[in-house]
Every structure is written in structure tokens, then in C-alpha cells.
Structure 1
Amino acid sequence: MFSQPFMQHAFLAGTAVALAAGLVGYFLVLRAQVFTADALSHVAFTGALAALAAGLDARIGLFAITILVALGMGTLGRRGRPDDVVIGGVFAWILGLGVFFLTLYTTTRSGSGNGSASVTVLFGSIFGLSSSRAMVTAAIALVICAVIVAIARPLLFASLDENVAAARGVPVRLLGFGFLVLVAGTAAESTQVVGALLILGLLAAPAGAATRMTTRPLRALGLSAAIAVGSVWIGLAASYLIPKMPPSFAILAVATLTYLATMGAGQLRRRHYDGIAEPNRTSPQPPRVPALTSSATIDEGR
């Protein structure tokens, strides 16, 4: 498998993107901003189609428009943290633009021999990455990883209690904008691996599984990245061994099954603890000593 150049490129880019998705995804779950990632994934689709309709490289639209919209969402939100109303409004508007650019692209550019590009943006094309493109993708993803690790502690503080963090001098608003840029960059990068429609699974499922496995933030951060990387590795291998299986489906299937496994293990663990605690609650209580009656008290006094 590793003697094939396209598999080498896929593993190189996929591993780096999975690391970034796992690290960024953990803070998305912690900050309850998963819906933000879903909206930005559709922004990535719209941005790529806008670039293709203009005759440009899809990556220009992927990164430029996704990052600009992320900053715009942060401006409309409180302390760089957009609420559901802002995200929902941007979501609907971006989807409308996506339909417009898709129509424009298919009517003006599809005859140039690149008509499948819109499908590639939607579902990814990790097996079609060239050597240079895989290296650029890996480099950008590693930069995102380095930045998220550098700001992990203050971002964790701001995510858990932004009011106390602001009172202690943490630049909460600046961190909010910076985190949105990282989410946008990760969404644009992940489009090449799993596609714009499936980015959310790679961002949310490993992080959700990690938070169910441990309550320690730094350990959960590492577990999220490890689960994301493992999902990409197993998914790529399964797609290579089973020719009819798309790599994006295989990657997301592994990540989702991991999350479901941790959920099931958590329920079994709770039932086990409840079964141990139940006999203690129903065990017979020691007999109570009856209180002295008033006559007995009088006799004792005499």
C-alpha cells in the first residue's frame, strides 16, 4: 500500500489535517461552537465554487472566503464568540450564495473539462493530491497545530469561564477571533480530505469521544488528536483494501463508530456503578431504639 505514491500523499496530508482537526475540534466541543464549524464547512464549499466560477484555484476561495466569513461572524458575536442566531443567519445566506455560484460555475466553467470539481469539493479527493499539494496541505495543518498548542492554556481558561478570564487579563475577544481563524483554516484544509459536507464529523466525533474518555483537558486534547489521526489511517487503509469504499466515508465511519463505542462504554459503566450502589440503598437499617414515654421519664426521675 505504501509503495503507491498517491497513498503516500494521502497519508501525509491526512495525518496532518487530522491532527489539526482533533486539536481544534476539542475546543469546538468545549466551547459549544460545533454549529460554527458546520456553518464554516458550507462557507468552504461556497468559497471554492466562487473561485472556480471566477476561473481561479479553488484553494484561494477556500481559505480567503472562509477566514473572512469567520472574522465577520466573530465581529457580530459577543467577545468574538458568535451565537446561534448569528451563525444561523450566516449559514442560510452562505447556502444561498453556494447555489448561485454552483449554477454560475456549471453554466460557464463545466465545459472546460473540470466539471467534477464541485463534487470533489463536496466529498473530498484525498487520493488525488499531488506531491506538492500534499506537502503544502501538511505544512498549513502543522502551523494550525502549533498555534493551537501555543494558545491552549489561555484558550482553555477563556472557554471554561470567559468572565473570570477577562477579569484576570486574558484577551478573551482576541482569542475568540484567533480561534475562529483556526477553525476556518481547518475547515478549508479538511475539505480536501473528507469534503465540505463531512468536515463536521472529523471535527466533532473524535473530540466528543475524547471528552467521554477523560475529564482532564490536556489529556482529552491529546486523545482527540489521536482518535482523529487513527480514524484517517484506518479509513485510508480500508478504502485502499476495499476499492468501492470512498475514503471520506471510511474515515467518518471509523470516527463515528469510535464515538458510539465510548458512549456505549459510558452507559455500561454507569449501570455497573448503579448496580453496586443499589444494594447499599436497599440494605436493612438497624432497629431504632424506642423513645422513652413520658411516664417512663417520670418514673426514672422518681
Structure 2
Amino acid sequence: MLEFEFMRHAFAGCALVSVIAGPVGWFLMLRRQAFAAHALSHIGFSGAAGAVWLGFPPLAGMIAFSLAAGLAIGSEHEADRGAPVQRDGTIGLVLAASLGLGTWFLHMANGASSLATTLLFGDVLGIGRNTLFSLLAVAIVCLSGLGVLCRPLLFSSLAPQVAQAKGVPVKIAALGFMAVCALACSACAEVAGALLAFSLMIGPPATALRLNLGPLAGVTVSTLLALFLSWGGLILSWETDAPVPLWIGLGAALLYGGAGLWVRFRNLSVRTTSSIRAQ
């Protein structure tokens, strides 16, 4: 299958997206902002539809809308733990408004159902050279931003009140991280589509966190699992003709379930060993 250029582009695109999704998703799960990733990927659909209507590349519109929404969501930063309803309400309202705009954009563009399907479910096999360069630029920006934010972000994620008392710029870190998340969701939508982009950003990191790994090991395992899912989805799609997002979504659920079974088995083994030693 690697004899075909479109497959080589697909594998390269999946690799770039996985390198973004692993680290960003790990921090998203640590900060309990999975709903934000879900919302941003859907909001990106509206931006892509608007870009198609105006004659721009869909990825450009997806990034623009996701960035604007990410900054709006990030304004309800983690230090405001006393107002969870307001934060969820902000995300829900932004999501609802953007989906309405996306529907109108498709209507104005006279978009066919095939266009809507492509925007919602992705077209990883249609990734071209220009899109690869765009994904590379997004990856560089995301990883650079995460590298700058990682220390204050980790501190504010684990102990937000203490971080704020120590003078850590909690709100700036939250806003910067949501901007990175917006870019990451836009990139993931190129592979899994707007509806399932969050499966790449949530499945592998959730699995890594369930294994109780430290930050460095967790980010590394999350990235490797995202690469495993995206490349595995491509291979299975080639063999079965089923869409790539199907295998990514199913694989993410299986990874998380398998991690839960492994943790239970490990805990049972520890308890059994401790009981034997006590006797």
C-alpha cells in the first residue's frame, strides 16, 4: 500500500497528528477538559464550512473558529473551580451557536452531502502535500507552545489554588493551553473528522492516565498509542474498506478497557502477594 503516494501522505499526516494529540490530550485529561476537546472539534466543523463558502481551505477556517472558541472557553480558567456550571454553560453556548453557523454556511455554499460528510468524518486518504506542510506547521506551533506552558500548566492542573498563591500565571496558562488545544483539534479533524477528532485526543491519554503513569511516561505512552491507533486504523481501512475513524474510535475504547483490566489484574496480584507475605 505504500507504493501509492496518497497512502504515504496519509501515514505522514497521521504521524504528525499523533505527535500533537498525545501530549495535548494528556494535559486535557489531566485538567478534566474532555468536553472542551469535544466542543472544539465540532466548532471547527463550522469554521471549515464557512471557509468552503468563502473559497478558502477548510483547514484555515477550522483553525480560525477553533482558536476563537478556545480563547472564549479558556477565559473560564481552572482557577474558577467554584463555578463549574458557568464553565460548562459557556462551552455549550459556544458549541450551539457555532453548529448553527455551520449549518447556515453549508446552506449558503450549496454544499452537497458529500462535502458535509467529509468535514464531519474526515478524509485522511485525501491529504495532499500542502495539507502536510500545514499540519507540520501546526505541530511545531503546538509542541512549542506546550513546551513553554508545560511547567505552569502542570502545577496549575494539580494544585490550582496553590499555583495561584505562588504567583503562577494560571489564567494565561489556561488561555494559552486552550489555544494549543484548538490547533490540535483542527489537526485531528483532518484524520478523524470533526465528529471523532476527540477520539484521538481522549482515548490514548485516558489510557495512559488510567495506568497511573508519571507525566513524562504518560505523555510518551499517550503519543505512541495515538500513533498506534492512527496507523492501525489506516492499515485496517486498507484491508477492510471500512473508514479510518471507525477503527480509531473502536481502538480507543478497547485501549481504555484493556488498561482497566490490566490495572485490576495488577492490583489483584499486589494484594495476593501481600497476603502471602503476611502469612
What is the TM-score with the length of structure 1 in the denominator? Answer: 0.83
Aligned residue for 1:221, secondary structure, equals helix
Deviation for aligned residue 1:274: 4.2
CA distance in 1, matches of 2:129, 2:80: 37
The answer on 1:74 being equivalent to 2:74 is: yes
Q: How does 1:122-271 map to 2 (within 5 A)?
A: 122-242=120-240, 244-271=241-268
Deviation for aligned residue 1:202: 0.6
8 A contact 1:158–1:172 mirrored in 2: yes
The answer on 1:20 being equivalent to 2:20 is: yes
CA distance in 1, matches of 2:239, 2:78: 48
Aligned residue for 1:32, secondary structure, equals coil
Deviation for aligned residue 1:78: 5.9
Deviation for aligned residue 1:6: 0.8
Gaps of 5+ in 2: none
CA distance in 1, matches of 2:111, 2:223: 38
Q: Equivalent pairs: percent with the same residue?
A: 33
CA distance in 2, matches of 1:280, 1:99: 64
Aligned residue for 1:13, secondary structure, equals helix
What is the TM-score with the length of structure 2 in the denominator? Answer: 0.90
> Counterpart of 1:101?
105
CA distance in 1, matches of 2:77, 2:205: 24
Could you report, residue by residue, the CA deviation over 1:153-198 in whole angstroms, capped at 9, with x for unpaired residues?
2211111112211222221111100000011001111111000000
The letter for the 2-side match of 1:215 is L
The letter for the 2-side match of 1:178 is G
8 A contact 2:46–2:101 mirrored in 1: yes
Deviation for aligned residue 1:77: 4.7
Deviation for aligned residue 1:93: 2.4
The answer on 1:52 being equivalent to 2:52 is: yes
8 A contact 2:66–2:183 mirrored in 1: yes
Deviation for aligned residue 1:257: 1.6
Q: 1:212 to 1:123 in 2, by over 3 A?
A: same
CA distance in 2, matches of 1:270, 1:52: 52
Deviation for aligned residue 1:147: 2.2
Q: How does 1:110-121 map to 2 (within 5 A)?
A: 110=112, 116-121=114-119
Deviation for aligned residue 1:267: 2.0
| Matched residue count | 275
The answer on 1:83 being equivalent to 2:87 is: yes
> Counterpart of 1:29?
29
Q: Name which of structure 1's ranges 94-103 and 220-229 shifts more when overlaid on structure 2.
A: 94-103
